[in-house]
Amino acid sequence: MGVDQMTFYQIIVVLHIFSAIMGMGPGFILTTVVKSGKTMTELRHSYAIRHKLHIFVMVGGTLLLITGLIMGFMNPSLFRMGWYVTSLVLFLAALAIGPLVLSPRSKPVKALLASHKGEEIPEDYYRLSRILFRYEHLENAIFIVIIALMILKPF
């Protein structure tokens, strides 16, 4: 089927899939990127890269939600499917984790990166980042469940 033969719904599905790749893909490596820093300069650079990747996560995640809801409104029977509703609820919960959980835990890390003098990474960073990364891993687990629900449609 060529692009000219695709229905509007099929185009939305394709956009939804590309949004998932663009938004979730980089999200899975955000913690990995910063774990490679061995000095404060490297760590600051890693966090700058992480910030640029996070922009893809935000744009892709927003498009993912919008296209998912458009599909639901175009095909209202989706709102009666357990996998769709569960995915939507989990996605909204994951979105809420950002400002409610991740942001307050990333502020002390950012402040430490901005204020620390010298090249040695302080122990405080490891303590603070471990807490932050624990919640980021939880969010990644939620996204893995969502992906599995989208693929398997178990209920």
In contact, 136 and 129? CB cutoff 8 Å: no
Per-residue pLDDT tens over the stretch 33-67: 999 889 999 999 999 999 999 999 999 999 999 99
Q: What are phi and psi of 30, to 5 degrees?
A: -60, -40
Candidate from 3-12, 72-81, 125-134, 141-150 with smallest mean pLDDT: 3-12
- Comparing CA positions, the residue from 123, 101, 97 lying closest to residue 112 is 123
**What domain count does the chain have?**
1
What is the dihedral sign for C-alpha 137, 138, 144, 146? negative
pLDDT digits 0-9 by tens, 92-145: 999 999 999 999 999 999 999 999 999 999 999 999 999 999 999 999 999 999
Tokens representing 94 are 């994951």
pLDDT given for residue 70 in this prediction: 97
Predicted TM-score (pTM) of the model is 0.88
Q: Is the pLDDT of residue 77 over 90?
A: yes
Look up residue 155 and give its amino acid. F
Rg of the chain taking only CA atoms, in angstroms:
19
Report the C-alpha gap between 114 and 22 in whole angstroms: 29
How many Å apart are CA 126 and CA 109, to the nearest integer? 9
Q: Indicate whether 73 pLDDT > 90.
A: yes
Closest CA to 131 of 105, 95, 93: 105
Q: Exposed, middle or buried: residue 42 (CB in 10 Å: 0-12, 13-18, 19+)? A: middle
* Full residue range of the structural domain in which residue 102 is found: 3-152
